[in-house]
Amino acid sequence: MLFFEGSEKKIEVVLQPGQPSLRQLEREYWQQVVAKANATILSSVHNEECDAYLLSESSLFVWEDRFLMLTCGTTTLMDAVVSFLEQFPADSLAMLSYQRKNEYQSHLQKSSFEQDVTALQQQIEGVGYQLGYLDGHHNYIYHLDRPYQPREDDATLELLMYHINGDTAQYLRSDNQTLEGIRQRLNWEALLPGFLLDDFLFEPFGYSMNAIKGDRYATMHITPQENSSYVSFETNLEGEAAALVLNALLKTLQPDSYDLISFNQQLQLDHQPGIICVDQATQPLSCGYTMRFSHYLKPPSAERSADRLSL
């Protein structure tokens, strides 16, 4: 059984005013940071406000005063964070948050969330939360425990989808897929008009995408394996623009279940008939955001056979 851990770890850092521009750091600097996580930079796109790097395991976005990095698989994102904090210690930070989703096979990871937090606590004083049931899909967050006032338009959405179905899901697992074919099926031209797109098709399958427009971003990562499929989409689009994309992805990929995670934004999705919300939590954070977590599930309509293990 071919398996890849799609679940991501995520770091977001905002610098205090007066710090040097992160965009002025050499590409080699970010290559070294990414390498600490056991990942590499595959390609990049740039505009007047953001540098977006597509990684061998997910993505890195760099603005003047902040950066956002996601890594999947068995990457060691915390090693990259510690490396960054050697140059930008706690007193240079306005905000830091570290997020990690539970994994399908956590025993294969190089570290646990608790071990990551222990390493981070050597650098900053923070507070952590778990949103979602421990025996189901859940999300951890640890953040710098310091007052911070986000910009009014600083709001993000994460849609995490599990066990995708339908024609597009089958295409993503097929031998004849192409980048152009995936773009057409996901309808990026209509959903992200005016965005600069950078994407990559992995072997034997797997898809990653970054898109930027001004200071707005979107990123998607697809692990389509039939028995452990996982898709993540994240953006700082708001309102109708965000709802348009998320609703389209749900309709196209038809997941059996999915999480909606938001920071300083509430969004009502057009859930398909029969979908139920089985878990939800809201947590105000001392770093200025309100984090919301909801898990949605399509009840099984028929008994499934067991998955045979490759022993």
Surface-to-core class of residue 270, CB atoms within 10 Å of its CB (0-12 exposed, 13-18 middle, 19+ buried)? exposed
In whole angstroms, give the CA distance from residue 106 to residue 33.
24
Rounded to 5°, the CA angle 178-192-22 comes to 95
What count of Cα atoms within 13 Å lies in the side-chain half-sphere of residue 159? 27
**Residue 282 three-state SS:** strand
Neighbours of 183 (CB within 10 A): 15
Contacting residues for 248 by C-beta, under 8 A, at least 6 apart: 187, 191
Q: Which two tokens stand for residue 130?
A: 């778990």
Contacting residues for 32 by C-beta, under 8 A, at least 6 apart: 83
Q: What is the set of active-site residues?
A: 5, 8, 58, 72, 208, 221
H or E segment to which residue 61 belongs? strand 58-62
